[in-house]
Amino acid sequence: MNIIFLKIRLILIIFLFSFNFSKQSFSNEFDNISACAGVVMGDGATELRDLQNEINFDNAFELAIKAFYGEGLSKARSNEDIIIAENIIASNVDKIYMQTEWTAEVYEEVIRCYRILGLKVLQKSEIIKNNIGMINQYLTRYKARLKRMINAG
């Protein structure tokens, strides 16, 4: 009787541990994509500010938004997860945009993030395709807002 009780407890503990770990890993993946989205947006914003390269800005912003929403829409997210993700994006846009000297580490991070977001868009292409109307609304609205802020500065 005690052995069966111990086995049930052990199974419940393992289940609860794996559930908590998997939920955290989903949030970590969303946070990582959010961080890279901010880096890529920051790179695009720098291109617009420094080189008036609107095409690179548009492409960077589109890649970042599609990867962000592809990952974001793949699982149910709490309001807290979304707020944190948006703060991570904003923080990383600032981090890249405010760089006074681009080191090899900054270049490597930017390139790494472009690769990660490109792969994420491929992985989540079905989700992106199914939600493209909503994604394009956010893309248009936020891109125009960020462009206006860069051009005003």
Show Cβ contacts of residue 135 under 8 Å, excluding neighbours closer than 6 positions: 65, 66, 69, 128
pLDDT per residue as tens digits for the range 32-85: 999 999 999 999 999 999 999 999 999 999 999 999 999 999 999 999 999 999
Rounded distance between C-alpha atoms, residue 90 and residue 85, angstroms: 9
Domain map (residue ranges) of the chain: 33-152
- CB 45, CB 97: distance < 8 Å: yes
Per DSSP, 52 falls in state -
pLDDT per residue as tens digits for the range 83-123: 999 999 999 999 999 998 899 999 999 999 999 999 999 99
